[in-house]
Structure 1
Amino acid sequence: MKTIKKIIKWILFVLAIPASYLIVSLILTLITVNNTESKVDNTETIYLSTNGVHLNIILKKKDLDKSLLKGLVHSPSDNFFSLGWGDEVFYLNTPTWSDLTFRTAFNAAFLKSPSLIHLTRYTHAQSNWVEIKISRSELSKINELILQSFSTDTNGEKILLKGKGYSDNDDFYKAKGNYTCFKTCNSWVNTIFKKSGLKSCLWTPFDFGLINKYK
């Protein structure tokens, strides 16, 4: 009987960890920071997109600083750059959700793993993107923070993973930082918004927390 009770206690303890994570995450997601918006200076446009799980920031190519654009693969017909940050193994081994395995998901969530920036190029804005009006200074800060997320080689150049993109309009670059359940692809986007002075969640690992604040 004592053994059974111990097993039950351990099961409850194990279940309490993800439950606590979920509850705290939802609470922090609902708390909005930088909620004061100045419409007067909001002359620039950026976008947010999600595939249902993963957030991306989209910038017009003309709005990228020279230092951020330098070293990025692109052509004259590319007008929008969609950028996301995430776990390297997850990105490279999961081109579609049908490719997702338990091991990949577990390692991404619970192990400190290297990260990549995923850049997808578009000629036209997509209908499912959420448009956000911001100021020039906020746009400049976003450029700065995204640039800081790229890893560079000894010459200061961005590190492209050649031939690893899913199609002919996207590429992967080595990124700084490690992916964990506390620093996710969505918290990366949210942190950039928060540090840029834009409306954001106090913290969130989810895609819906930030994007719903702009719908």
Structure 2
Amino acid sequence: MKLFRKLLRFLFYVLLIPVVYLVVSLVLTAITVPREAKDQPADQVIYLKTNGVHLDIVLPRAAMTADLSKDLKRTDADAYMSFGWGDENFYINTPTWGDLTFANAFRALFLESTTLMHLTRYRNKQEDWVEVRLSVEELEKINTYLVNSFKPDANGIKEMLKDAGYGSRDDFYKANGSYSCIKTCNTWVNTAFKESGLKACLWTPFDFGLMGKYD
């Protein structure tokens, strides 16, 4: 009986952890961090996009600084570029949710890992993107955050993985940081907004958290 009770207690705590994580995540997602510089004119535009789970920051070509544009693959016809960040193994080995395995998910959430920037090029604005208006200073901070997310090679060049994209219009680059259940692809985007002084969630691992602040 003692062994049985210990087993039940163990199962209870195992099940309690994701429940607590979910509750805390929802509470912190609901708490809004307001925009800092409310007196600055919000005459610049960027966008948020999601695939239903994963958030990206989208910048028009004209909104990208020279430091951010440097070394990135693109053509003259590419008017927008989206930036995402995530676990390297998860990005490369889980191109669709049908490819998701427990091992890949566990490794991404709980083990130290290398990360990638995922860049996708667009010729036209997409209807499902959410518009975010910001000032010139806030836009510069977004650019700086994105630049610092790349992990350059020994020569200071943004390092692109060869033939690693999902299609002809996206690419992967080496990134800084390690993915975890605390720092996810969506918390990375939310942190970009917080550090740039934009309205954001206090913390969120969800895509709908930040999107909901701008709908």
TM-score if structure 1 supplies the norm length? 0.97
Counterpart AA for 1:169: R
* Contact persistence 2:37–2:197 (CA under 8 A): no
Listed as ranges, the matches of 1:53-202 within 5 Å are 53-202=53-202
Structure 1 residue 37 displacement after superposition: 6.8
Over residues 175-204 of structure 1, what are the superposed CA-to-partner deviations in whole Å (9 max), with x where a residue is unaligned? Answer: 000000000000000000001010001111
Deviations, residues 120-177 of structure 1 (Å, cap 9, x unaligned): 0000000000011111110000000000000011111101001101111100000000
- Secondary structure at the residue paired with 2:114? strand
Provide the residue aligned with 1:213 in structure 2.
213
Return the offset for 1:36. 6.0
Amino acid across the alignment from 1:60: P
Q: TM-score, normalised by structure 2?
A: 0.97
TM-aligned CA distance change 1:36 to 1:141, over 3 Å: closer
Over 3 Å off, 4+ runs: 35-40
Cα separation, 1, equivalents of 2:40 and 2:16: 47
Amino acid at match of 2:143: N
Q: How far 1:107 moved relative to its partner?
A: 1.1
CA distance in 1, matches of 2:37, 2:214: 12
Equivalent pairs counted in the alignment come to 215
Q: Say yes or no: does 1:33 pair with 2:64.
A: no
Counterpart code for 1:26: L
Unpaired runs of at least 5, structure 2: none
27-36 or 168-177: which moved more? 27-36
Segments of 5+ residues of structure 1 without an aligned counterpart are none
Q: Please give the alpha-carbon distance, in whole angstroms, between the structure 2 residues aligned to 1:12 and 1:168.
A: 47
